[in-house]
């Protein structure tokens, strides 16, 4: 690829810029083990993350994890305080745990991703983060790279503006619009097949798949034009 052909780069966050899954895993572990211990239930394990939580909306993960232990709680409401023993309350408790783990342990951006971001900044390429996470701004700040991204279209922005999530292209299109660039001159960088599909559906100039485990075949099938294992590979 030739970066001279593009004016903007639209980055997913988790798995592209930062290994945020590590923080999510620790937050689920701390929240669930405290809750399950108090109930005398079998402890939460790393395998539970993959079996019941990974890739799901937060409240769905709570519901499915509780079901695996035969525990039923009222659904509650998203406005429930974090100390409420409802599905939503536990989900909100996990979000608090995420922020605590992030503040305590921090998160380090992938070195290759930082190299690309710094190189693009020096070339004057506009950059945005497009993430389904509502914690994107705090993650960027913790990783020390927030200054590179004047535009962040995250889960909170999507909710407020009524934007459909990935694989719909809405959030990427909104980011390009806020940067003042056309889709044809923007590059989408994603590690998930749903995000790659969103970039293809938006008819962006180039869709880069970052293979952090999805596999090159799956990323290409979803619409990636280029697949790399590390963003260092496309540093200009």
Catalytic residues: 12, 14
Residues in the chain: 236
Three-class secondary structure of residue 129 per DSSP = strand
Both tokens assigned to 232: 């260092």
User: In degrees, to the nearest 5, what angle opens at C-alpha 182 toward C-alphas 180 and 188?
Assistant: 100
Both tokens assigned to 202: 């938006």
Q: Where are the alpha helices (DSSP H) in 69-210?
A: 87-105, 111-123, 136-143, 155-161, 170-179, 193-201
Q: Give the CA count within 13 Å in the CB-facing half-sphere of 8.
A: 28
């Amino acid at each position: 690829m030739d970066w001279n052909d593009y004016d903007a780069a639209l980055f997913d966050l988790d798995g592209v810029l930062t290994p945020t899954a590590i923080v999510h895993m620790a937050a689920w572990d701390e929240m669930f083990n405290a809750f399950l211990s108090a109930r005398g239930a079998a402890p939460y394990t790393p395998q539970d993350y993959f079996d019941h939580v990974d890739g799901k909306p937060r409240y769905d993960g709570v519901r499915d994890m509780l079901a695996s232990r035969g525990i039923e709680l009222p659904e509650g409401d998203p406005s429930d305080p974090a100390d409420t023993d409802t599905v939503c309350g536990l989900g909100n408790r996990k979000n608090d745990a995420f922020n605590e783990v992030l503040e305590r342990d921090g998160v380090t951006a992938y070195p290759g991703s930082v190299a690309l971001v710094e190189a693009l900044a020096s070339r004057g390429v506009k950059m945005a983060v497009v993430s389904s996470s509502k914690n994107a701004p705090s993650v960027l700040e913790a990783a020390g790279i927030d200054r590179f991204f004047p535009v962040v279209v995250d889960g909170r922005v999507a909710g407020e503006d009524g934007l459909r999530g990935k694989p719909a292209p809405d959030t990427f299109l909104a980011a390009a619009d806020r940067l003042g660039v056309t889709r044809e001159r923007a590059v989408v960088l994603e590690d998930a097949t749903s995000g790659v599909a969103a970039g293809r559906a938006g008819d962006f100039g180039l869709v880069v798949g970052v293979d952090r485990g999805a596999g090159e075949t799956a990323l290409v099938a979803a619409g990636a034009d280029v697949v790399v294992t590390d963003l260092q590979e496309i540093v200009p």
